[in-house]
Structure 1
């Protein structure tokens, strides 16, 4: 690939919908940025036939896994391994023979072991967490969520047209035209592979619209990964590579008028077809508004409302149908400035392909193509899908609102709860759980696919989003479940509306939000003498909701050993002082006038160990999600320590692998050292 072709490829990749569009999220880029390097190292492995490159491949894969987005890491591993297998079986085996191909495969396998060893701590911890995930037992419907509709292919020329596509596919109009060139000229092994990868990843991205994707998912029997549209990253990556190859083919075979004519005709028909589709779609959407909205609502009633992972009210879905229709009308409107800009760039791109190369030198053509791609993708960045839409100004975004500053002044151990309905999330984004992490405020809500199933059920009052759907908070659910929030050490409640409940009092108010103080909030750790055993989690939650004072009794999932229920005792017959509190360790001093149970309102999870006066004791599950230990009468030092076995094994394996890597590199290069 020439330097100019490589430049076009890089610009299209960096500022198209894959990278510059912050594909799916910025977190995903921390994984996907390594994918091109994986392919480069694989090529080096084939050319040099040295173990070093197999080890480097393993190191890069481990970095992808440790980056934290395992779904994208898995996809990257699958496609890079597919690249290796195809080139090994169809090219290297033929050219270099069985013995050397086996040697290459062995080096690649070593890289796989290196990747596993270095990332074992992350993998083992993830496997352990997945056993408690709220996504356990999901069906195939979950794996189809976020499929890319085939109608979205019009985005290759008109990126503003979403058509409720579920994703975005755009590399620039001229690069797309150049990628089509490869189809009409002689193809090498790289061209064939990236044509295959483009089509294969696109078919997988179609998800529920693709029989192949459904067949693969059913054959594997694993339904825990959603949003097939994530495969579009590899579609975009492959198209940008093909655009570079297409540019070189286009420049080097200008004398072949027959192929050139066929190619320009295809571009012309594709362009006219896309514009015609756009105009017809806009006319239908505008004139058939009533029919389409009624059709959409009927479709929602029969196929969406009440189905798995669709828990909103019918009115919410009706509003969604209306907003989707309005968005489609706006995004397909022929006089939309962005649609006009796409049409102008489309005409110019066709003009460049058809005529400019005949009138200017090769250097002039190269400059024209690069300039047009830059202008095109700059306009694309204005849509809000590029860096402009994913990165807000730091000073404005991270400045703490008045309510947050008020909460920060309370330095005691406590938690907050944000009663912010879904429809107001954009206006109140700085009061949501993920923002509160930055402000060092402990929030019982969450936005994470890592939410455990027990906690998800406990937080039925709302505020938890496991990235499938968000439990909708409301004043009614708050009134019903305020006892549960008190158990969780929730001292403050943030809301945009007034709360008329004698159990809370207004602590702060401004034009944006109200902050209420929960009068019944329990401390982070508290002592009880009375308990009740309820093994069924849902039954236990109903019991806790029904109690007027949750401090009177702790609900355990099994009978404690060597402890007699002391219902005649009072919960406050002990003093509890937290001496040290950190994510992996909690130390408390406790003085109890009788035997009892110490409850720590932190999550019950494997790996935690408890010690009473240096003697290890059993941790019981309390109130369905918390930790509790039995405390004898007297003064004691209680220590909770997080010491996860799977993670520690993974950490040791990673350390051993780290030690072995330089040794393997040294041994594999002994022959080279002897030569010198």
Structure 2
């Protein structure tokens, strides 16, 4: 045991340093503070009903809190039979947010570089380079926790694949299965998809190498083990994947129900403009080397010495006014994205080493990395270079399900760090030092030359103006009371600030590139040894990335946990909350319905936010509640309260909707529609309490000939649980009941007096059913097979995964012990 600790002492030292880095960077997190994340705050409103039931030790898989009602799979579900759920829970219990994710980044990437046989300090340098790439840190700041977690698992998955391809079949496959299971559990399909694109390129390179070297037998064996690992990871996450797959077909990423749409969206997948909304500018890739060459974030400067603030001070503003105007109205970012928290900065040192790696690395992984970088960059351009993106969007499976295409550069971040550190490894191991020095000089000329050009003549190559600069200046003039002169002065001052920032960062990058080349030169000239080279690179990369990241995620981003950042209920919210009815809806006309993060804090809302909202609900909002407000649709959704605003004072008020249909009602007649378009047209003007609009595909479930008017007939909700709704009915004849609940047939079952009966969709969105005469107990129970049977499969897969890991580690340790004894 002592020998084991001695052999692995340097790894423990690296681990301790990682912990120290996290402690000093995220000190407020260890002091009980938390990140004030906007997206997390919005998620809390989405999860309101789910969390209320969790507080009662009750799990619900359906929530009526947002968008009329939807499955909770893409919001929160327990998945307790999945071993990775407990791994994630343990990490979050031991380490504060976001330290758990950062440590996963560091140790996962460290594992990959160790598998590539770099020495521990170079492996640590590579881990720091990827972990602290600015996009990862900005994701943590913004609260995209699942996305960051998924990216953190890229490196260890690749490590497992490489181990398997190197002949460590069981160990590599087990490592791959474990981290791939965690990756899937992160439930960020977009990031997993992007990783798979990179892995496909890697497999292609390995296929070529296997054929060339006539080692196809061992390659196919590796592929077999990796295929088994993939199947195992899928089984571990069966409940997540099955539920998501089943649900995704009904969401905005699924097939359109309408043949006519006002926004000309595709028949399946996301609208192109929506998917490409966050596209990387082609020239913005200079931020890989020079971080704020495009201004950084969409916030303005608060530097008292900035040109903008000086211009405002010259006009008589005090410093606080000047800073507020500058930060709120004069964004430093000048690219084409609607807004951004910051750039993709890979590191000046890493960019220098990456270019050097293209020239000197002999490892075939170089071609995989280069291919991955080229593809990810081209796809990240989206609307700015649509040729390649459109090919993928139109023809590549699933690609059109994702938005914010620039996020694929998360894969490029890792690729740059990989080749950069492989370049240092090549410098260390390749005996032809003269050739290495010559080629490294070329990397210096390219990266250092670019930095020097932008330091000396930044505006000779870039405009530092937004594409709508003239319109922005005119708008600014109007905001300043028609003072066009001041608006022009401020716009010109803003350009000067952008140029100054770009020049300063270019000089900064040039310094890091020169120091990096100096290190390489010193090693080649035998002025320093491998250990010094590795340690200094580790320290330099840390300093480089740390300084830039602190511009975005710094101590000021943390807030006290006890500070209540949730919206405070207004008087009208308090008045509405007095209603003891468990399941009515509220619409706030002052909110964007599909991004309403306020109303769901306090009420079951017609609006809300979900990137995986149901397609039918999205279509209903677009056609019936956006251009104008369809009162009939509000009534059928049981919208009991409407929050309005005084047009002069913008003070909120509340109107009680007396025509709301209630939880359930019997209709007098049924009208059949040939398709979704006719359904949508029919509900544009109808009487929801009297008639139901039903698609003809449900005609065999409707026995409308037996219907008879019964003035005394009644149906009411008697018990409310989002997963279990109980009604009681009474009538002297058969009736058609419509329920003000969203129709979703992938899990909802209807029972009448304990016996399952069919139900159907009415009024485009709602549930409806034939109710026989007499007194009955009617239940709607949400019990999706995809979740509950999926959990059984997850449990079996989890047991196999644990056994495989234990067995692989035992055999590997036994093998190493035998090798040491032989030695």
Work out which of the residue numbers 182, 204, 221 in structure 1 matches 2:379.
204
Report Cα offsets for 1:609-664 as digits up to 9, x if no partner.
Answer: 21111222220212110111122232211111224355555445444544555677
3-state DSSP of counterpart to 1:576: strand
Q: Is the 8 A contact 2:376 2:412 kept in 1?
A: yes
Report Cα offsets for 1:107-155 as digits up to 9, x if no partner.
Answer: 1121122133333333333333343334422489466554433111121
Residues 85-96 of structure 1: pairs in structure 2 closer than 5 A: 86-87=205-206, 89-90=208-209, 94=213
Cross-structure match for 2:509: 346
Change in Cα spacing, 1:327 to 1:194, as seen in structure 2 (3 Å) is farther
Cross-structure match for 1:298: none
CA distance, structure 1, for counterparts of residue 611 and residue 752 of structure 2: 34
Cross-structure match for 1:490: 639
Cross-structure match for 2:173: 54
Q: Which runs of 5+ in 2 are unaligned?
A: 1-117, 256-266, 295-332, 475-487, 819-823
3-state DSSP of counterpart to 1:628: strand
Residues 330-369 of structure 1: pairs in structure 2 closer than 5 A: 333-334=496-497, 338-339=501-502, 341-353=504-516, 355=518
Q: Is the 8 A contact 2:632 2:688 kept in 1?
A: yes
Q: How many residues align?
A: 610
Cross-structure match for 1:402: 570
CA distance, structure 2, for counterparts of residue 183 and residue 261 of structure 1: 13
CA distance, structure 2, for counterparts of residue 155 and residue 674 of structure 1: 48
Post-superposition offset of 1:457: 2.3
Is residue 127 of structure 1 aligned with residue 127 of structure 2? no
Cross-structure match for 1:550: 688
Residues 380-399 of structure 1: pairs in structure 2 closer than 5 A: 380-381=548-549, 384=552, 386=553, 395-399=563-567
Work out which of the residue numbers 759, 762, 772 in structure 2 matches 1:619.
759
3-state DSSP of counterpart to 2:187: coil
- Give the number of the structure with larger relative contact order, counting CA–CA contacts within 8 Å between residues 6 or more apart: 2
Cross-structure match for 2:291: 159
Q: Is the 8 A contact 2:456 2:503 kept in 1?
A: no
Change in Cα spacing, 1:163 to 1:366, as seen in structure 2 (3 Å) is farther
Report Cα offsets for 1:408-454 as digits up to 9, x if no partner.
Answer: 454422222232356xx9xxxxx9544555x3632222333433332
Work out which of the residue numbers 433, 436, 455 in structure 1 matches 2:617.
455
Post-superposition offset of 1:287: 13
Q: Is the 8 A contact 2:759 2:768 kept in 1?
A: yes
Report Cα offsets for 1:66-125 as digits up to 9, x if no partner.
Answer: 322212222223323543553465269849x44433322221121122133333333333
Cross-structure match for 1:29: 148
Is residue 564 of structure 1 aligned with residue 705 of structure 2? yes
Work out which of the residue numbers 588, 613, 620 in structure 1 matches 2:727.
588
Cross-structure match for 1:114: 232
Work out which of the residue numbers 218, 231, 241 in structure 2 matches 1:100.
218
3-state DSSP of counterpart to 1:244: helix
Superposition TM-score, scaled by structure 2 size: 0.64
CA distance, structure 2, for counterparts of residue 109 and residue 525 of structure 1: 50
Q: Is the 8 A contact 1:206 1:228 kept in 2?
A: yes
Report Cα offsets for 1:332-375 as digits up to 9, x if no partner.
Answer: 64566643541342242244235577799668776765555445
Post-superposition offset of 1:499: 7.6
Residues 141-152 of structure 1: pairs in structure 2 closer than 5 A: 141=272, 146-152=278-284
CA distance, structure 2, for counterparts of residue 327 and residue 450 of structure 1: 41
User: What's the RMSD between the two structures over aligned residues?
Assistant: 4.4
CA distance, structure 2, for counterparts of residue 293 and residue 462 of structure 1: 37
Post-superposition offset of 1:387: 7.5
Q: Is the 8 A contact 2:742 2:767 kept in 1?
A: yes
Residues 191-270 of structure 1: pairs in structure 2 closer than 5 A: 191-208=366-383, 209=385, 211-220=387-396, 223-248=400-425, 257-270=437-450
Report Cα offsets for 1:31-71 as digits up to 9, x if no partner.
Answer: 22211110121233234533353244234323322322212
Q: Is the 8 A contact 1:51 1:668 kept in 2?
A: yes
CA distance, structure 2, for counterparts of residue 536 and residue 326 of structure 1: 58
Work out which of the residue numbers 10, 20, 29 in structure 1 matches 2:137.
20
CA distance, structure 2, for counterparts of residue 327 and residue 99 of structure 1: 68
Superposition TM-score, scaled by structure 1 size: 0.76
Change in Cα spacing, 1:635 to 1:14, as seen in structure 2 (3 Å) is same
Change in Cα spacing, 1:345 to 1:284, as seen in structure 2 (3 Å) is closer
Q: Is the 8 A contact 2:706 2:734 kept in 1?
A: no
Comparing 41-50 with 148-157, greater Cα deviation is found at 41-50
Post-superposition offset of 1:491: 2.2
Report Cα offsets for 1:373-419 as digits up to 9, x if no partner.
Answer: 445434433554x5789987753532534355555454422222232
Comparing 65-74 with 105-114, greater Cα deviation is found at 65-74
CA distance, structure 2, for counterparts of residue 43 and residue 664 of structure 1: 18
Work out which of the residue numbers 79, 92, 111 in structure 1 matches 2:198.
79
Residues 281-360 of structure 1: pairs in structure 2 closer than 5 A: 285=465, 290=470, 333-334=496-497, 338-339=501-502, 341-353=504-516, 355=518
Comparing 216-225 with 105-114, greater Cα deviation is found at 216-225
Q: Is the 8 A contact 2:448 2:514 kept in 1?
A: no
Post-superposition offset of 1:482: 2.3
Change in Cα spacing, 1:435 to 1:6, as seen in structure 2 (3 Å) is farther
Q: Is the 8 A contact 2:194 2:411 kept in 1?
A: no
Cross-structure match for 2:545: 377
Work out which of the residue numbers 344, 351, 358 in structure 2 matches 1:176.
351
CA distance, structure 2, for counterparts of residue 109 and residue 286 of structure 1: 48
Is residue 601 of structure 1 aligned with residue 733 of structure 2? no
